[in-house]
């Protein structure tokens, strides 16, 4: 059996990913980038255009906002998001930093929602996907999994380094997750992005970690007592309130 039972669907996904990464493209450029014939690239683009996924302007193609509609609809159905909407805004105001609600999907920490003060950069935004092992939120989610589930994650995932601080071995990850489970908090000290730190707490429902709340920001502001005490208290309190809402 091939990795992708329906090859045409896999090709369509590659087209969409290329458009997402490049912004806009022509038929020839796309064909060369992902190894298709010009005819095949054109057919995929025209099909996606007719489905409302792709927009064509002056012979150039780009993604439209169809996925925004789909993504927000899916996100709005998440019980954790519905329970956390007000807490996200309040936490962002209290922390003065970027705040996210993160869920695990296909081995990634996915930012289902982000709130930020105007001064913060956009290295994480709604829809961002980062490795679970390289983020505070991802480690918070992994820490609530069984040893068997963690072993499966390690087996299926390359513990790739994003910075020189990223955890890269199974033994180091397991040790880190034990510490996270003991304190109920996870930290990211430049493991996903150089000079960016974060703290996160899992949000549980019926014994399972269904999401994580996280605060991220530059190391210049997230250090010492502010990171270790002030922000951790805010994150833990917000996560508990979301859990209470989920239990209602």
Question: Which tens digit of pLDDT belongs to each residue from 90-99?
Answer: 999 999 999 9
Report domain extents, the chain: 7-64, 75-247
Q: How confident is the model at residue 56 (pLDDT cuts 50, 70, 90)?
A: very high
State the pTM of this model: 0.88
What integer is the mean pLDDT of 67-76? Answer: 92
Q: How confident is the model at residue 1 (pLDDT cuts 50, 70, 90)?
A: very low
Mean pLDDT of the chain: 93
In CATH terms, the fold of domain 7-64 is Arc Repressor Mutant, subunit A (1.10.10)
Q: What is the pLDDT of residues 158-184, one digit of tens each?
A: 899 999 999 999 999 999 999 999 999
Q: What is the pLDDT of residues 112-168, one digit of tens each?
A: 999 988 777 778 899 999 999 999 999 999 999 999 999 999 999 889 999 999 999
d(CA 120, CA 158): 30
Q: How confident is the model at residue 217 (pLDDT cuts 50, 70, 90)?
A: very high
Report the top-level CATH class of 75-247.
alpha beta
Those residues whose C-beta lies under 8 Å from the C-beta of residue 171, and which sit 6 or more positions away, are none
Backbone angles phi, psi at 230, to 5 degrees: -65, -55
Residue 85, Cβ density class (10 Å: 0-12 exposed, 13-18 middle, ≥19 buried): middle
DSSP-assigned states of every residue in 17-82? HHHHHHSEE-HHHHHHHHT--HHHHHHHHHHHHHTTSEEEETTEEEE-SHHHHHHHHHHHT-HHHH
What integer is the mean pLDDT of 186-200? Answer: 96
């Amino acid at each position: 059996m091939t990795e992708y039972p329906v090859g045409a669907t896999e090709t369509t996904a590659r087209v969409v990913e290329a458009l997402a990464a490049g912004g806009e493209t022509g038929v020839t450029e796309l064909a060369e980038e992902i190894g298709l014939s010009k005819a095949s690239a054109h057919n995929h683009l025209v099909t996606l255009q007719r489905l409302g996924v792709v927009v064509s302007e002056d012979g150039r193609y780009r993604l439209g906002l169809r996925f925004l509609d789909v993504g927000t609809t899916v996100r709005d159905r998440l019980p954790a998001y519905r329970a956390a909407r007000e807490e996200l805004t309040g936490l962002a105001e209290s922390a003065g930093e970027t705040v996210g609600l993160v869920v695990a999907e296909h081995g990634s920490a996915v930012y289902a929602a982000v709130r930020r003060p105007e001064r913060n950069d956009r290295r994480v935004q709604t829809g961002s996907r980062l490795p679970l092992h390289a983020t505070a939120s991802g480690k918070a989610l992994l820490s609530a999994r069984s040893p068997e589930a963690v072993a499966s994650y390690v087996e299926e995932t390359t513990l790739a380094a994003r910075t020189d601080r990223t955890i890269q071995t199974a033994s180091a990850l397991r040790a880190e997750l034990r510490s996270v489970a003991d304190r109920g908090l996870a930290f990211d000290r430049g493991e996903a992005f150089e000079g960016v730190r974060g703290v996160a707490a899992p949000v549980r429902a019926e014994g399972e970690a269904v999401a994580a709340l996280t605060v991220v920001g530059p190391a210049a502001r997230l250090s010492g007592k502010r990171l270790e005490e002030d922000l951790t208290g805010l994150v833990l309190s917000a996560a508990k309130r979301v859990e209470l809402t989920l239990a209602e």
